[in-house]
Amino acid sequence: MKIPPDHPRAEALKIRERLVRGFEDGYVVPQGLIAQGRGEVFDYLIGEKTIPPAREAIKAAAAAFKLAEHPVISVNGNTAALCPEDLVELSEVTGAPLEVNLFHRTEDRVEKIAETLREAGADRVLGADPEHLVRLPNLSSHRAVVDDRGIYRADVVLVPLEDGDRTRALKELGKTVVAIDLNPLSRTARDADITIVDNVVRCVRKITREYERMDPDRAKGVLREYDNGRVLARVLDHIRERLRVLADEAAGAT
């Protein structure tokens, strides 16, 4: 499909096209398309930009990666379709491996996603080699299948577009969970240690930039000050304030 460059929502439509292509290639599942739709609604509400509380969470994410011994980046079908280059860059800069981890897991999807990441420049992708796959003890879905070199031994896990059950399972195992989720009300958003309420297509590269600027001393200070509950409250306040302004404008326009 050709998207006219002057279309008012050209950017959002281009992002959708990436998912549709991933769907046609067989590694984005139909449920992933629904998840994107839900994400878009919240993106509308925050104003389709990186808002200040998300910036604070991005800084905390960079700090957590800086101080981690074994940080890992979890990748699913949607994120592989939406921003593979950004994920590869974050992995290269931080040394955190990329691991394919899927709720709707099939070997075919895992392989296709690993291939998409390799095409984007990754030289190592975890989560595909049966010899290294183990199960997390406290999770029944396919999300429990993890790599013993990756999520299994990780102390910090970045989970973009996560499912609430795994966030909880990872936390129970003592791991620090950094979530990217446009929905500030999801279980993932509320349970994670650090929640970045932003679109993956905007924020992954911002984490990389912050990481490059962060030294370990500053990282400690950032994490000491960080309060995820307060950040989520500021996101909700941002939405409320924005809706109030929009409501006033709508009333004035009639």
Interface residues with Mg ion (CB under 5 A)? 163-164
38 assigned ligand-binding residue: yes
Name the residue among 70, 134, 130 with its Cα closest to residue 96. 70
State the nearest-atom distance from the C-beta of 187 to Mg ion, in Å. Answer: 7
**Part in contact with ligand ATP (CB under 6 A); list of ranges 114-122, 150-158, 180-188, 225-233:** 180-188
SS3 132: helix
Residue 183 contacts ligand ATP per CB under 6 A: yes
Question: Nearer to ligand ATP by C-beta: 82 or 122?
Answer: 82
Q: Which of 71, 63, 70, 65 is nearest to 219 (CA)?
A: 63
When the beta carbons of 145 and 161 are compared against Mg ion, the nearer one is 161
CA nearest neighbour of 38 among 145, 233, 142, 188: 188
Q: Near ligand ATP by CB under 6 A, which window of 104-112, 143-151, 159-167, 218-226? A: 159-167
Read off the tokens for 37. Answer: 């739709």
Asked if residue 188 belongs to a known ligand binding site, the reply is yes
Choosing among ligand ATP, Mg ion, none, which partner's interface includes residue 28 (Cβ < 5 to 8 Å by kind)? Answer: none
- Round to whole Å and give the CA distance between 129 and 28: 20
| Binding to ligand ATP in span 120-149, by CB under 6 A | none
Tokens of 174: 């003592």
For residue 238, give the nearest of 63, 59, 9, 43 by alpha carbon.
43
* Contact region with ligand ATP (CB under 6 A), list: 58-66, 114-122, 135-143, 185-193: 185-193
Binders of ligand ATP in range 198-227 (CB under 6 A): 199-200
**Which of Mg ion, ligand ATP, none is residue 161 near (CB under 5 to 8 Å by kind)?**
ligand ATP
Per rule CB under 6 A, is residue 27 in the interface with ligand ATP?
no
CB of 97 to ligand ATP, least distance (A): 21
Nearer to Mg ion, 91 or 167 (CB): 167
Exactly one of 116, 188, 208, 228 binds ligand ATP (CB under 6 A); which one? 188
CB of 186 to ligand ATP, least distance (A): 4
Q: How far apart are CA 3 and CA 200, in angstroms?
A: 21
Taking alpha carbons only, the member of 160, 159, 143, 161 closest to residue 34 is 161
Could you tell me whether strands 71-75 and 176-180 are parallel, antiparallel, or unpaired per DSSP bridges? Answer: unpaired
Sign of CA dihedral 149, 150, 151, 154: positive
| 187 makes contact with ligand ATP (CB under 6 A) | yes
DSSP 45-104: HHTSS--HHHHHHHHHHHHHHHH-SSEEEEE-HHHHHH-HHHHHHHHHHH-PPEEE--SS
Query: Which residue positions form the known binding site for ATP?
Result: 16, 38, 181-183, 187-188, 199-200
Give the footprint of ligand ATP on this chain (CB under 6 A).
Answer: 35-36, 38-39, 42, 82, 161, 163-164, 180-183, 186-188, 199-200
